[in-house]
Structure 1
Amino acid sequence: MPVITIFSGVFCKKKPVLEKIMEKIKYDIVTDNEIISEASWISGMPENKIKTAFSSKVSVFNKFTHEKERATAWIKLALARMLSKDNLIVEGLSSQLIPKEITHVLRICIIADMKFRIMAAKEEGKSEKEAISLIHSSDKDRSSWVYDILNTKDPWDPSLYDMIIPTDKMDLEEAVALIESHLGSEVIKATEQSKKAAKDFILTSEVEVALAKEGHSVGVNAKDGAVTLSINNHVLMLSRLEDELKAIVEKVPGVTSVETKVGKKYHQADIYRKYDFETPKVLLVDDERKFVQTLSERLMIRDMGSAVAYDGESALDMINDDEPEVMILDLKMPGINGIEVLRKVKETRPEIEVIILTGQGSEEDRKICMDLGAFAYLHKPVKIDFLSETLKKAKEKMEKARELKKGQ
């Protein structure tokens, strides 16, 4: 029996369509939440981290950490393994990950116009303002996700689906009857080629996960055990990276050969960076723009990814949104000063280690900062090697505290 995938906008009356389908055919249903739960279980990553893959908002640290790509790799592997089952409905954003080569899939999109969706939201107790905000936010996430996966900006593009169900124009019985009629089509029956494509999908996912575990993010395609890796960012030492990637992939069970190639985006300005899990996500907070930008560049040379905030308010917003692990914080800044930022960080996110780096602090400031929980108190100028070592020690302390908390 074919697999059914359902991708829908919010407030499009998807639930009654699903319930009616389930009455008519005895299929198991798998949702994004279940796939996230499975991905979390096999990866060890928290579910909330896995879930961020579906969000259009990307952390400022992602270009160093590849967290979104790693989460997507685990989601893809969880989904690929589930596709080995028959009589399955895959409902949600993750359904877009199933390759077109797997042809025994009936791909359905449920959508409606804005007026209909607002009315449906109001039936669920939402105000019109809330409804519009939720619809726009949800559609933005779906657009971003589809663009990342399929390089298509329109998540409702008819070419992505076998069937569009416009719930504002089609009644429930008609929609379900249409789905039933398509399920009997010869076009979506499982063939040997389609089953083989499903196995290739599993191997592709396993290779992506193996690379993600080592901090790499490249394009992967597997076919009959032959794996092709596409490097989509410029690399300073290409042959060394190719050797490293091949060494990782060759160990994956089922891989018979590995080939590397330069992808379409290779000649863009971005430099490929492997993520070193030993280095912290660093937030630099200083209103001296030239100084902090230079410091960020010097850390980058040492393969330490960092983000920059020029005032305390911005830093506190980034703590909530981007979850840095270590902060390098100046004391004298306009608005909220460094001591107040430190105080707020330790009250709300005590696991973040804070290194004070100032050119104007006093002994009294040092005592206040250390009493508030600062990891170190340093004076400008500071030798970059010493600062790098301090950052690594701060990361180590944070990791030990995290492990201790897990064990409790």
Structure 2
Amino acid sequence: MSNITIFSGSFCNEDAVAQEIISGSGFKLITDKDIVVRAAAGSGISEVKITKAFSSRPSIFNKFTHEKERSIAYLRLTIAEMLAEDNLLITGFTSQLVSQNISHILRVCLIADMQYRVSRAYEKDGLTKKEATTLIHKQDGNRGAWIDILFKIKDPWDPEIYDLVIPMDKTDVKNAAALIRDNAKKEALQHTDITKNAVADFLLAAKAEVALADEGHNVGVSAKNGIVTITINKHVLMLSRLEDELKSIAEKIPDVRSVKTEVGEGYYRTDSYRKYDFEMPSKVLLVDDEREFVQTLSERLLMRDMGSAVAYDGESALDLINDEEPEVMILDLKMPGIDGIEVLRRVKSTNPDVEVIILTGHGSEQDKKTCMDLGAFAYMHKPVDIELLSDTIKQANEKMRKNFNQRA
């Protein structure tokens, strides 16, 4: 029997259809939650962070951490390992990670017009028309961004990537489930030696992608009969050296017969290739209302392989901390609105793991005592020696990671 994937618009009865399919059919339901839990266990990345890979808005730190890409690599590996089984019904965002080269998969899309979905949102959750419309547009945006990442297609419901698109405003749950089950039985979708080889290729490519991601590389990976192809999509000055490094990593994977590299279309754009160094601080938040100073500081840290984001006032900094989870904060004291001491107090109250380094040109000895009593990691004065600041950031980052690992 074939496997089935279902990708659905919100309020299109996905859960009800899935339950109807597995009822007495022998199919095993696999949800996004199932995939995330297993991927988190294998990667050491938290379930919360892996789930954020589905969001349309990547973290402002992602260009330094590649957290989204690494999460997707582990999700893809988890899916590939599960495909050793048959009779799977995979639903949600992760269903789109199944390789299009595997033919014994029935790919299903459930969608409906806006009026129907708004009505379902009212029936299910009691949402008003305005609330439902806003929520559906936001969720459609996430789905569209996900499809664009994976397929370079803007429309998440594009029939090109599905075998079956079912309009749920015109089809009830039982008929939709029956239609899916009937199509899954077709001869063209049954497991063969060809599909078995395609699953093996998918698994090998996923293993290589994870191995490369764990070494800080963000590249495209495919496999065919034991031959792994690595695609470099960002410009790098020393291409041959990078190719040798990528090959040396992939060649160590069992069942890899050979590795070749190529440059993709993105290689010729202005983006430059950057290997992520897991040992270097990459989620540093700089908070200072002196724009020229803080932008220059960000650039100087980047030259030392430290990734940073910038906030120009205390309120923006607090919002970023809640949304982005920085690891180290460099904080000025004298700012309009919420001052640095109040920011420090709130951060240590709500996000105590964030290590805060005070960097000020106006602080007093009493300010220093107050900040250290509130839990600041260090108190420094402007102008600051960049090497001293860099070393202090590294020490703060090491403390944060040590505390995290002890709890884990």
Q: Do the two structures share a fold, i.e. TM-score over 0.5?
A: yes
Stretch moving more, 303-312 or 247-256: 247-256
Q: TM-score, normalised by structure 2?
A: 0.97
Give 1:243 shift. Answer: 1.8
Q: Secondary structure at the match of 1:320?
A: helix
In the alignment, what sits opposite 1:320?
322
Stretch moving more, 9-18 or 372-381: 9-18
Q: Does 1:264 align with 2:265?
A: yes
Among 270, 295, 298, the residue aligned to 2:297: 295
In the alignment, what sits opposite 1:162?
163
Counterparts of 1:101 and 1:46, CA distance in 2: 30
Counterparts of 1:324 and 1:116, CA distance in 2: 41
**Superposition map of 1:171-186 within 5 A:** 171-186=172-187
Q: Secondary structure at the match of 1:360?
A: coil
**Superposition map of 1:16-27 within 5 A:** 16-23=16-23, 25-27=25-27
Counterparts of 1:282 and 1:19, CA distance in 2: 45
In the alignment, what sits opposite 1:187?
188
User: Number of residues paired by the alignment?
Assistant: 406
* Letter matched to residue 233 of structure 1: K
Counterparts of 1:323 and 1:190, CA distance in 2: 44
**Superposition map of 1:226-237 within 5 A:** 226-237=227-238
Stretch moving more, 318-327 or 13-22: 13-22
* Letter matched to residue 309 of structure 2: A
In the alignment, what sits opposite 2:380?
378
* Letter matched to residue 180 of structure 2: I
Counterparts of 1:54 and 1:197, CA distance in 2: 25
Indicate conservation of the 8 Å contact 2:27/2:87, yes or no.
yes
In the alignment, what sits opposite 2:313?
311
Give 1:285 shift. Answer: 0.8
Stretch moving more, 98-107 or 394-403: 394-403
Indicate conservation of the 8 Å contact 2:359/2:380, yes or no.
yes
In the alignment, what sits opposite 2:391?
389
Q: Secondary structure at the match of 1:265?
A: helix
**Superposition map of 1:280-291 within 5 A:** 280=281, 281-291=283-293
Cα-to-partner distance string for 1:270-307 (whole Å, 9 max, x where unaligned):
22111111122111111111111111111111111111
Q: Secondary structure at the match of 2:370?
A: helix
Give 1:181 shift. Answer: 2.8
Counterparts of 2:147 and 2:97, CA distance in 1: 9
In the alignment, what sits opposite 1:200?
201
Cα-to-partner distance string for 1:91-111 (whole Å, 9 max, x where unaligned):
111111111110001111011
Counterparts of 1:124 and 1:171, CA distance in 2: 16
Q: Secondary structure at the match of 1:266?
A: helix
* Letter matched to residue 95 of structure 1: S
Counterparts of 1:159 and 1:12, CA distance in 2: 20
Give 1:24 shift. Answer: 5.3
Indicate conservation of the 8 Å contact 2:159/2:165, yes or no.
yes
Unaligned runs of 5+ in 2: none
Q: Secondary structure at the match of 1:394?
A: helix
Cα-to-partner distance string for 1:152-202 (whole Å, 9 max, x where unaligned):
111000111111111101233432332233123222122222211111111
Counterparts of 1:405 and 1:27, CA distance in 2: 38
Q: Does 1:352 align with 2:357?
A: no
In the alignment, what sits opposite 2:37?
37
Cα-to-partner distance string for 1:101-141 (whole Å, 9 max, x where unaligned):
10001111011111111111111132223322321221111
In the alignment, what sits opposite 1:330?
332
Give 1:399 shift. Answer: 1.5
In the alignment, what sits opposite 1:137?
138
In the alignment, what sits opposite 1:209?
210
Counterparts of 2:402 and 2:186, CA distance in 1: 57
Counterparts of 1:162 and 1:344, CA distance in 2: 52
Counterparts of 2:42 and 2:134, CA distance in 1: 34
Q: TM-score, normalised by structure 1?
A: 0.97
Indicate conservation of the 8 Å contact 2:13/2:173, yes or no.
no
In the alignment, what sits opposite 1:55?
55
In the alignment, what sits opposite 1:149?
150
Counterparts of 2:384 and 2:182, CA distance in 1: 71
In the alignment, what sits opposite 1:365?
367
Cα-to-partner distance string for 1:323-359 (whole Å, 9 max, x where unaligned):
1100111111111111111111111111111111111
Stretch moving more, 181-190 or 30-39: 181-190
Cα-to-partner distance string for 1:203-248 (whole Å, 9 max, x where unaligned):
1111111111111111111111111111111113222222221111
Q: Secondary structure at the match of 2:265?
A: coil
Counterparts of 1:359 and 1:127, CA distance in 2: 51
Give 1:148 shift. Answer: 0.6
Indicate conservation of the 8 Å contact 2:18/2:89, yes or no.
no
Unaligned runs of 5+ in 1: none
* Letter matched to residue 265 of structure 1: G
Counterparts of 2:98 and 2:318, CA distance in 1: 39
Give 1:396 shift. Answer: 1.0
Counterparts of 1:71 and 1:383, CA distance in 2: 36
Counterparts of 2:239 and 2:369, CA distance in 1: 49
Indicate conservation of the 8 Å contact 2:30/2:90, yes or no.
yes
Counterparts of 2:365 and 2:86, CA distance in 1: 69
In the alignment, what sits opposite 1:104?
104
Q: Secondary structure at the match of 1:271?
A: coil
Counterparts of 1:360 and 1:149, CA distance in 2: 49
* Letter matched to residue 363 of structure 2: G
In the alignment, what sits opposite 2:122?
122
Q: CA RMSD in A?
A: 1.3
